[in-house]
Amino acid sequence: MKPSIIISGLPAVGKTTIAKAIAQRFNLKQYSGGDVLKEMAIAKGYAVSGNDWWDTEHGIRFLSERSSNLEFDKQVDNRLLQVAGQGGAVITSYTLPWLAKDAVKLWLKGSRENRARRMASRDNIAYEEALKIVSMRDEDNKKLYLKLYNIRFGDDLSVFDYLINTDQLSVDGVVDITGTIVKHLV
């Protein structure tokens, strides 16, 4: 059985971009905690569209609702744990690396400034706005995952098999490095 690959990192570091490229390159299934959360938002009546939905007024409102009900995240994590256990998947998740036992875990590292530049370019917004959003999401995630699982998200990287600093690499560079790692595992 091929192992599952779990990619984590702070918001806007490139997790989804890298996961999609690796899944395609190695013919693996790709899953995202964000996609599962979006399915839950749709079930609650939210109109969800686009990758930048989280940063819209409706996305932020859903995230606020979600933070008051920890069952949202536990349901997402349970679903992703099942997927990871089946092997042969690339999964992006904030928390799964601390919860899953038999998977290869990668942390993508990037400075707040570079992540804000990526977000500004990706979402076609001003850098200053992206920097505010990234800073807010960083802090919200740290508080949420400490409360939910006692995880020091972004600080405790001891569960990761590989750490990749994306700040001085192109997307292709990160894909190549990640691909080299995965090639020796699958």
What pLDDT does 33 receive?
A: 83
In total, the chain counts a number of residues equal to 186
Q: What is the pTM of this model?
A: 0.87
Task: Using the predicted structure, report yes or no on whether residue 1 has a pLDDT greater than 90.
Answer: no
The residue among 88, 84, 104 whose CA lies nearest residue 1 is: 88
Task: Using the predicted structure, report yes or no on whether residue 186 has a pLDDT greater than 80.
Answer: no
Say if residues 164 and 14 touch (Cβ distance below 8 Å).
Answer: no
The residue among 107, 138, 112, 134 whose CA lies nearest residue 123 is: 134
Place of tokens 């059985």: 1
What pLDDT does 2 receive?
A: 87
pLDDT over 90 percentage in the chain: 68
Question: Average pLDDT, stretch 91-107?
Answer: 95
Domain at 4-172, CATH class? alpha beta
pLDDT category at 63 given cuts 50, 70, 90 is confident
What pLDDT does 41 receive?
A: 86
Task: Using the predicted structure, report yes or no on whether residue 67 has a pLDDT greater than 90.
Answer: no
Instruction: Tally Cβ neighbours within 10 Å of residue 41.
Output: 22
**176: three-class secondary structure by DSSP:** helix
Place of tokens 């569960």: 159
